[in-house]
Structure 1
Amino acid sequence: MSEQDITYELDDRIAWITINRPERRNALTRHNMSVDLPDTWLRFEADEDARIAIISGAGEFAFCAGMDVKERAGAFQRSADGGASEQTRETRVSPRANGVTKPVIGAVNGVCTGVGMQIVADCDLLIASDNAWFSDARTSVGLVPALGAAELARAMPLHEALRLIFLGRHGRMTAERAYQIGFVGELVPPGELHEAAEQLARTVMRNAPHAVRLAKQAVWESLDGGLADGMANARAIAAANPTLEDVREGARSFVERRDPDWKLR
């Protein structure tokens, strides 16, 4: 059941949100992106007993390996054949996209790519295991990471974001590099990530809840000037993207384990 793919556990005012598909390196299905994650963020925001959330991936090897491309291959074909695209609905995977005003910590274990990058770029604080790494492979399967790109460009230096996007699956950012550029605030050994994330959350909770929430609002809204038009344009690009032939080719080549034959259309 998909509700088991995203788990929500409340422990002493901390909401632990876990992407729970370790057999697929926590890659997300369409239902996970369009229903499960948005519902979980809304649940956290409405939960009066929850002060802060920590989102992580099940297991030690992956936070989130992006979307489940094998599942998406059929969806791309249906979109190209004239079916309604679900990509716009699937962009509401991150906390701010769902109106979350409480603080959110991203605890990154292992690989974080594609949609996973979109989630962590929208977290308020990031902590990672020192074996974590980051990439955005969507350009390597013919997808335009429009919304993710807009969020990454605010979370890290512009040229670092563009490097990740342009290199796709052929490049990655190490945890150490992410720490050096300020994208990640703290690095810990893999076995200590859970404890360190909890300690960070409890330190935040020592402060006044309303002050933290209003400070978050002030900081994020200060970055939103001029962003609304950019995000609207990004949504239009994302909605049109699944109709491109190269999207279908990217998905097919991934499933068939071969190099893609791009048609540039």
Structure 2
Amino acid sequence: MSGVRVERDAVEATGVAVVVLDRPDKLNAIDLAAARALTEAWRSFRYDDAVRAVVVTGAGDRAFTTGIDRGVEVPQPASPYSIDDPLIAIGPKANDLWKPVVAAVEGMACGGAFYLLGECEFVVAARTATFFDPHTTYGMVSAYESVLLAQRMPYGEIARLALMGTAERLGAARAHEIGLVSELTEPGEARAAALRCATTMASYPPEAVQGTVRALWSAHEPTRSTALSLAPHLIALGNAPVSAQETRFRTRSDGPPPRVR
């Protein structure tokens, strides 16, 4: 019922757990229950020594996740100095998990998907996968997503992804060229490839692996922390009213198909 499934069947043999966003009929969109379940999963892995690496993926082949479920209503504080973001703690690093996490992407990954992809060690994607950020199209500021992706993509590429909104989608091949994706697979094979990587990492001494993850993350931490501290204010000041966002969402749903580059 949470929309998230944690598979531990192979943990004893491989040391790898799998987190599955499991709302395929909703393109694995994340509602409040799923957001809470993701937080609980990452935090539980900190105390489970049998889990030494994790794969996160989406159910089905249509989407990794399309981010926040637009049916979720999240009342916001009136102050421009704060914002209630239901996805703020859905990633592993936000929950102080320093075990390696590999993302396996099939289909679409957009919007709030980057909270997860931005906190994974690397991404494996099917050649048919696509990435895009719809925020600006609907009158919303892409803040957390852009900051997290800016740690692993050239500035011009993340700027184009964020500013072009729904007009463009980043194809898996181009995502691989610019470093967002580390490995391309045939459709349906992303999970298996991610599991191979995770199983390898899980076979190494965990202290060395987790220390390396922490070292890699710390390389960008001062810049990222400063940038993220501005995100609530930028969102509060720049987001259109919810009613205007919904109007833009409805009127653009029948627009021309996006260009894939």
TM-score bracket relative to the smaller structure: 0.7 to 0.9
Partner SS, residue 155 of structure 1? coil
| Match of residue 27 from structure 2 | 25
- Give the Cα separation in 2 of the matches to 1:236 and 1:89: 16
Match of 1:170 in 2: 167
Q: Secondary structure at the match of 2:124?
A: strand
Q: Offset of 1:97 from its aligned partner?
A: 1.2
Kindly report which structure 2 residues correspond to 1:85-234, keeping only aligned pairs within 5 A, or say none: 87-234=84-231
Measure the CA separation in 2 of the matches of 1:200 and 1:156: 21
Matching residue's letter, 1:37: L
User: Which stretches in structure 1 are left out of the alignment for 5+ residues?
Assistant: 261-265
Determine if contact 1:27/1:64 at 8 Å carries over to the other structure.
yes
Displacement after TM superposition at 1:134 (Å): 0.3
Residue 151 of structure 2: SS of its match in structure 1?
helix
AA of the residue aligned to 1:159: G
Unpaired segments ≥5 residues, structure 2: 256-261
* Corresponding residue of 1:64: 65
Instruction: Give 2:259's aligned residue.
Output: none
Larger relative helix fraction: 1
Amino acid at match of 1:24: K
Task: Tell me the C-alpha RMSD between the 2 structures.
Answer: 2.3
2:4 aligned residue: 6
Q: 2:177 and 2:144 mapped to 1: Cα distance?
A: 24
Residue type at the aligned position of 1:250: Q
What is the distance in 1 between the residues matched to 2:112 and 2:47?
24
Query: How many Å separate the matches in 1 of 2:233 and 2:44?
Result: 28
Deviation at 1:159, TM superposition (A): 0.8
Shift in Å, 1:225: 2.2
Distance in 2 of aligned mates of 1:239 and 1:119: 22
**Displacement after TM superposition at 1:90 (Å):** 2.7
Q: TM-score, normalised by structure 1?
A: 0.86
Contact kept in structure 1, 2:77 and 2:84, CA below 8 Å:
no
Cα distance in structure 1, aligned partners of 2:245 and 2:87: 19
1:149 is displaced (CA, Å) by: 0.9
